Amino acid sequence: MSQSRQSDYPIDPLFTRRWSPRAFTGEHIQESTLLSLLEAARWAPSAFNAQPWRFIYGRSDTPSWQPIFDNLVEFNRGWAHRAAALIVVLSKKRYLAPGATESQENSSHSFDAGAAWASLAFQVTLSGWHAHGLGGFNPDGLRHALGIPEDYAIEAVIAIGKLGDKATLPEALQAREFPNARRPLSELVADGRFVFDE
């Protein structure tokens, strides 16, 4: 573990152990294992308990993989081809309250899907796998290929895999293959009033 992953205050080591490698082994993942990772995401908190998150997965040894993989940007295709699964994270933009006849906008659909992704990522770490979030994908291509309706936002794609040897990566990526650092907590939190520089 890199020295850059020292917490400023005591926390469970799980939080600094989770990181996003690009070198994966190419090992496949069982569907039941993947569903167990996604089960953790299911229990995330959400406004109104609306649970706006949805997940579409493709495992690398199944036909569901290719349409997701093909819609990653070239940079991400360059390393994600050795992942075991790709998961598309969606969020439902509207919410039908219990007893209501008309749906309303859910202003926290993305926030809540973020909580679900974090839960997934920590369960992935606990289960001995690694997860890497991807914003570099073609949203229109993915929407069309997977039949995703317009009232669902495409939030991210998550690559899941077993940690591999960084020598399998292109040289430029090998140099970046380590757990990175964070801003000090003092730049991120304030007591009672906005004081942040940027």
Q: Which residues bind ligand FMN (CB under 6 A)?
A: 19-20, 76, 132-136, 156, 179-180
Angstrom distance (rounded) from CA 59 to CA 164: 17
Q: Which residue carries 């933009």 as its tokens?
A: 93
Tokens describing residue 160: 């899941």
* Least separation in angstroms between CB 5 and ligand FMN: 9
Amino acid found at 52: P
How would you classify the pairing of strands 94-95 and 130-134? unpaired
* Least separation in angstroms between CB 179 and ligand FMN: 6
CB closer to ligand FMN out of 29 and 131: 131
| CB distance 95 to 50 below 8 Å | yes
Rg (CA), the chain: 18
* Least separation in angstroms between CB 104 and ligand FMN: 26
Angstrom distance (rounded) from CA 133 to CA 89: 10
CB closer to ligand FMN out of 5 and 48: 5
* Least separation in angstroms between CB 57 and ligand FMN: 17
Q: Which residue carries 């205050």 as its tokens?
A: 9
Chain centroid, CA 43 distance in Å: 15
CB closer to ligand FMN out of 136 and 139: 136
CB closer to ligand FMN out of 29 and 157: 157
- Give whole-number Cα distances, 146 to 27, 35, 140, in Å: 24, 19, 10
* Least separation in angstroms between CB 65 and ligand FMN: 18
CB closer to ligand FMN out of 96 and 141: 141
